[in-house]
Amino acid sequence: MTSTIRGRLIIVCGQPASGKTTDRRNLATENGAVRYCPDEWLADLGANLWDEQLREKVEALQWKQTKELLAVGVTTIIELGT
């Protein structure tokens, strides 16, 4: 018998300053989830939050990691919308 481990993907989207990050932190705690926020990564890199080329690279990396985590059963939260 083969068992399948499944993680859940939770996508949080909304307007800037609408509370996405706060809601996402609560969801992560409640679900034992890994969370990704492009704005946080860009800020940690000291980058311009409106740098579209760098944002695309960060988002692509976050999606790649999200797929890997989901494949091993880890619930993942990703935030969209700047």
Domain extent, residue 26, equals 8-80
The rounded percent of the chain whose pLDDT value lies above 90 is 59
Q: Is residue 53 part of a domain?
A: yes
pLDDT greater than 60 at residue 1: no
Determine the Cα–Cα distance for residues 53 and 22; give it in Å rounded to an integer. Answer: 26
Q: Is residue 1 part of a domain?
A: no
Q: Is residue 64 part of a domain?
A: yes
pLDDT tens-digit readout, 3-29: 567 789 999 888 777 777 777 788 888
Domain count across the chain: 1
pTM summary value? 0.80
CA-based nearest residue to 69, from 37, 38, 33: 33
pLDDT tens-digit readout, 27-51: 888 889 999 999 999 999 999 999 9
Instruction: Tell me which of 19 and 52 has the higher pLDDT.
Output: 52
**String of DSSP letters for 29-52:** HHHT-EEE-HHHHHHHTT--TT-H
Q: Is residue 21 part of a domain?
A: yes
Q: Is residue 45 part of a domain?
A: yes
